[in-house]
Structure 1
Amino acid sequence: MLGQAVRRFTTSAVRSSHYAEGPGKNLPFSVDNKWRLLGMMVLFFGSGFTFPFIVVRHQILKK
């Protein structure tokens, strides 16, 4: 009985969810403006790439 109730609840939850469909609609950021997306990607990946170099420079200059 409990299994049937859980199955009915999960089925109704899936049916009642209304999400937009299509490419890029399930992402946590917008892909509509390609220049903004490019800027955000450059900042995200660029900060991760430059961080080790900044840390090494800090360690070298530290007295």
Structure 2
Amino acid sequence: MLGQAVRRFATSAVRSSHYAEGPGKNLPFSVDNKWRLLGMMVLFFGSGFTFPFIVVRHQLLKK
């Protein structure tokens, strides 16, 4: 009984959503400008990659 109610709610929520469809339309960022996308990806992944090195350097220089 509960499963049926959840299933009905989930399908009605999907049907009632009115978002634009197509590649890249369901992302929280724009993929129209490839150079801006490249810059954002470099910043995002680059910050995650360099963070451990910065933390280790800070710990080594700490007195």
TM-score band, normalised by shorter chain: 0.7 to 0.9
Structure exhibiting the larger radius of gyration computed from Cα positions: 1
Q: Once the two structures are superposed, what CA deviation does each residue of 1:2-57 show, in whole Å capped at 9, x if it has no partner?
A: 99998877665444421111000000110000000000000000000000000000
The answer to whether structure 1 residue 46 and structure 2 residue 39 are counterparts is no
In structure 2, relative to structure 1, the CA distance for the partners of 1:54 and 1:12 (3 Å cut) is: closer
Identity %: 97
Segments of 4+ in structure 1 off by > 2 A? 1-17
Which structure 1 segments of 5+ residues have no match? none
Cα distance between partner residues in 1 of 2:42 and 2:29: 14
In structure 2, relative to structure 1, the CA distance for the partners of 1:28 and 1:62 (3 Å cut) is: same
In structure 2, relative to structure 1, the CA distance for the partners of 1:50 and 1:8 (3 Å cut) is: closer
C-alpha root-mean-square deviation of aligned residues, in Å?
2.3
Across the two proteins, how many residue pairs are aligned to each other?
A: 63
Report the more deviating stretch, 13-22 or 33-42: 13-22
Cα distance between partner residues in 2 of 1:47 and 1:16: 38
Q: TM (normalized to structure 1)?
A: 0.77
Which structure 2 segments of 5+ residues have no match? none
Q: TM (normalized to structure 2)?
A: 0.77
